[in-house]
Amino acid sequence: MRNESLVLNKKSWDEVAPRFFGRNPLPEYGPLAPQEEDLNLLGDVAGMKVLDIGCGSGHSLQYMDARDAAELWGIDLSKTQIETAKELLKESKAPVHLFESPMEENPGLPLAYFDIVYSIYALGWTADLRKTITNVHDYLKPGGIFIFSWEHPLHSRASLVGEELHFNKSYHEEGAYDHEAWHAPAIMQQYKVSTYINTLIEGGFDIEKVIEEVSLTEKDEERHANRWYSFEKAKMMPTTLIIKSRKKSNRVST
């Protein structure tokens, strides 16, 4: 099932990549979510070696370059996305290393090397959450930080009908599913908030911040009118889950 998901998702992303060019990159963490300027989760990235899991079109790495990161590394399942990112980043100040690969596999990334690993709206595409978290742990230096954002697990479980939220699927149901808003054959993974947190803890991370707030400015309302992440729905439930964690100095086996 894992290999089938990866093959299907790669094909899907290669086809739809142009539609997501520059969609919600850093400093954004997701639609109708607070931005890095509000949260300051990354801190000063100058001189840092950074790795983007699911780097997409490369715009988040471009943001890191503008903030003087020392090295820009990225991994993405899609050949189209990697080619786009290479073109976008060809004049970056920092050296760039991009890999076309599933996040569940290490395509040759150095271990215990990165100061920051992050993933913006990509982690829910993993076919093996535990393996991906293990890889992230291996890539980071002791004390390095891992930040990810993804659609909040509640968001796709409820629909806004008039002024009421109607739940259409159990929050407790986890695993592979076809996302209602994704208009191409693909398989994402549904996990509870506790599953993300516990997998990080079991993988050798300390949780530093869990964020479920929304941003409901006039600009946000205009950008997301009549979309999957609607302004009205965001008034009642979070769109995005953001978690900041840090690799322990010494991993404890469980």
Say yes or no to pLDDT of 43 above 80.
yes
Task: Read off the pTM.
Answer: 0.91
Give pLDDT tens digits for 224-239.
655 778 888 999 999 9
pLDDT in tens, 81-104: 999 999 999 999 999 999 999 999
Q: What is the per-residue pLDDT across 167-208, written as a single tens digit (0 to 9) for each?
A: 988 999 998 877 766 667 778 889 999 999 999 999 999 999
Q: Give the domains, in start order, of the chain with CATH numbers.
A: 2-20+44-152+194-247 (3.40.50.150)
Residue 120 binned pLDDT confidence (cut-offs 50, 70, 90): very high
| Number of Cα atoms under 13 Å in the Cβ half of residue 112 | 5
pLDDT of residue 15 exceeding 50: yes
Cβ atoms within 10 Å of 76's Cβ, excluding its own: 29
Structure-model confidence comparison of residues 161 and 206, the more confident one: 206
Q: Would you state the pLDDT for residue 248? A: 93
pLDDT at 24 exceeding the cut of 60: yes
Q: What is the mean pLDDT of residues 113-130?
A: 95
189 or 19: which leads in pLDDT: 189
pLDDT at residue 186 in the model? 75
